[in-house]
Chains A and B, each alone.
Chain A
């Protein structure tokens, strides 16, 4: 079977190796709980950024409401694990499905819009979700949702990151992915080439929302506590910054972007007064001197590994 070709076997070994290394370092205490917290946050940001990159980077649809899908996932998972004592895997699956459904509902009317109009519409959607969460007492309202069981750990975060990257990468390298990229290049020409542009825009949106739902579930089940404010438009913009910083249209860029930006704000924590200023200056410089983002549209290939093994 082609699935078991050399390239894929090496990729799987590589993935397992990183997982094992992380697990060993955790058990040995080389990674303390503070570093673990940051790794979890980076992982959640990677999942969010890779999903948003499919929508904004590859398909060219500017969305400012990505955190809302994360909120849908987080609250779904919180309800299922805290109120109904469901296992985490069930909660994750339903969170992803709930967020994807929200993606369909919001995608069908808004994706007729273009550019700035779409950005404003998605921004509005994000606020609607936040305000809904604020006003529903069942999920804690403004007080937040408390006592969510903690399930998220290195294993969950790592394999969910891998899942999101593999699924989105495989999608991009297929008939549907090419259709999405062509829409971002020239929508009129794409339609003339036989592409149902509405369908593919919604599909990209739904896949992005699906993974944002997973990210939300991982988030909720790590911090015991979630509140509507955590999923406001500032969070959406944070994710967008990662995507643009890493490179619109590069999955590796989103991964690198999430890691680099988290590390930058981590190192800046020792100078809290200037933290946001320096962070902003770094973003500014990158955009001036490398407007296409760190990796542009490039991807990191595992070729160097393959050569050594072969």
Chain B
């Protein structure tokens, strides 16, 4: 039973078909790569999966014991069902501390309301304590605990990327979407990140879908790779299969005749 299934998902902006008739099957526990040239529709696909865009047609099914139809749900609902993401251009809450950024990830799993926070009922203190402990624990695991009181915007680039992943993990997702996690990293950092992603998948028992331009990273850790070009899915399979696919080669380096 796949954890995520896309049936003929399309979205059009005006006359432009940004993503057309995409079928995907994501198995639980896998790391799935989505690659393709710039403007191929990769981030649009992520925006569809997280509810930021509503598909024009097709359906997205998420299996969480029972099958849930994700298209049409608001982003915050989808997050609470267990799909978390990071962004291509890091989107942290810059003026909040590192710890508070991670606490935000707990939002969908906690429920302290207006009344109990204003009156400061015991439930408020209990929940705040639990959130703080768990957030600190998460920061420790991701090696960010020494910076927990710094403002997020003051962290170096690599740590901001890691904090974004920490914040996403705080919502206890079953699927984690990473949008170009290695963007702006040098080969050494990318190598380190590759190991880190595999480790996170293991440690938090996740299914990971990642968009990446770094072919080495994708080929190194992905169980399955999908290739998009001009909004169409042109290939899907194991990294080896995809690498040999003539259509993929054409999309990346042009056809032999050209």
Q: Do A and B bind each other?
A: yes
Contact of A195 among B76, B91, B96 (CB under 8 A): B76
Interchain nearest-CB distance for B141 vs A (Å): 19
Interchain nearest-CB distance for A104 vs B (Å): 14
Tell which of B24-32, B103-111, B189-197, B243-251 binds the partner.
Answer: B103-111
Which chain B residue lies CB-closest to A8? B120
Contact of A190 among B74, B84, B104, B122 (CB under 8 A): B104
User: B16 contacts the other chain (Cβ, under 8 Å)?
Assistant: no
User: B239 contacts the other chain (Cβ, under 8 Å)?
Assistant: no
Q: Determine the distance from Cα of A192 to Cα of B79 in the docked complex, in whole angstroms.
A: 6
Which chain A residue lies CB-closest to B79? A194
Contact of B167 among A193, A197, A297 (CB under 8 A): A193
Tell which of A146-154, A175-183, A230-238 binds the partner.
Answer: A175-183
Which chain A residue lies CB-closest to B114? A176
Q: Determine the distance from Cα of A3 to Cα of B87 in the docked complex, in whole angstroms.
A: 40
User: B50 contacts the other chain (Cβ, under 8 Å)?
Assistant: yes
Return the CB mask of B74-115 against A: 1 if under 8 Å, else 0.
111001100011010001111110001001111110101110
Contact of B94 among A185, A188, A194 (CB under 8 A): A185
Do A178 and B104 touch (CB < 8 A)? yes
Interface of B toward A, CB cutoff 8 Å: 50, 52, 74-76, 79-80, 84-85, 87, 91-96, 100, 103-108, 110, 112-114, 117-120, 122, 124-125, 127-128, 131, 167, 171
Write out the residue numbers on chain A whose beta carbons fall within 8 Å of the beta carbon of B105.
193-194
Contact of B117 among A2, A176, A196 (CB under 8 A): A176
Which chain B residue lies CB-closest to A198? B74
User: A108 contacts the other chain (Cβ, under 8 Å)?
Assistant: no
Return the CB mask of A1-37 against B: 1 if under 8 Å, else 0.
1110000000000000000000000000000000000
Contact of A186 among B93, B119, B120 (CB under 8 A): B93
Contact of A192 among B50, B106, B112 (CB under 8 A): B50
Decide yes or no: A189 and B95 within 8 Å by CB, A167-B118, A170-B120, A171-B118 being known contacts.
no
Interchain nearest-CB distance for A207 vs B (Å): 8
Do B124 and A174 touch (CB < 8 A)? yes
Decide yes or no: A3 and B127 within 8 Å by CB, A189-B93, A190-B104 being known contacts.
no
Write out the residue numbers on chain A whose beta carbons fall within 8 Å of the beta carbon of B117.
170-171, 173-177
Instruction: Please give the number of chain A residues whose Cβ is less than 8 angstroms from any Cβ of chain B in the complex.
Output: 29
Contact of B108 among A3, A186, A194 (CB under 8 A): A194
Do B93 and A192 touch (CB < 8 A)? no
Do A195 and B118 touch (CB < 8 A)? no
Q: Determine the distance from Cα of A192 to Cα of B85 in the docked complex, in whole angstroms.
A: 7
User: A203 contacts the other chain (Cβ, under 8 Å)?
Assistant: yes
Do A189 and B74 touch (CB < 8 A)? no
| Extra contacts besides A181-B96, A194-B80 (15): CB < 8 Å | A170-B118, A170-B119, A174-B117, A175-B112, A176-B117, A178-B96, A178-B104, A181-B93, A185-B96, A189-B93, A191-B52, A192-B52, A193-B171, A194-B105, A196-B76
Q: Determine the distance from Cα of A197 to Cα of B117 in the docked complex, in whole angstroms.
A: 18
Do A197 and B104 touch (CB < 8 A)? no
- In the assembled complex, 26 residue pairs joining A and B whose CB atoms fall closer than 8 Å, in A order, are A167-B118, A170-B118, A170-B120, A171-B118, A174-B117, A174-B128, A175-B107, A175-B127, A175-B131, A176-B112, A176-B113, A177-B117, A178-B107, A185-B95, A186-B91, A186-B93, A188-B91, A190-B93, A191-B74, A191-B79, A192-B52, A192-B87, A193-B79, A194-B76, A194-B79, A203-B114
Q: Determine the distance from Cα of A191 to Cα of B118 in the docked complex, in whole angstroms.
A: 23
Contact of B84 among A170, A192, A203 (CB under 8 A): A192
Interchain nearest-CB distance for B165 vs A (Å): 13
Write out the residue numbers on chain B whose beta carbons fall within 8 Å of the beta carbon of A186.
91-94
Do B107 and A185 touch (CB < 8 A)? no
Q: Determine the distance from Cα of A64 to Cα of B103 in the docked complex, in whole angstroms.
A: 32
Return the CB mask of A266-302 against B: 1 if under 8 Å, else 0.
0000000000000000000000000000000100000
Contact of A191 among B76, B106, B127, B171 (CB under 8 A): B76
Write out the residue numbers on chain B whose beta carbons fall within 8 Å of the beta carbon of A189.
87, 91-93
Which chain A residue lies CB-closest to B51? A191
Do A2 and B122 touch (CB < 8 A)? yes
Interchain nearest-CB distance for A57 vs B (Å): 12
Write out the residue numbers on chain B whose beta carbons fall within 8 Å of the beta carbon of A190.
93, 104
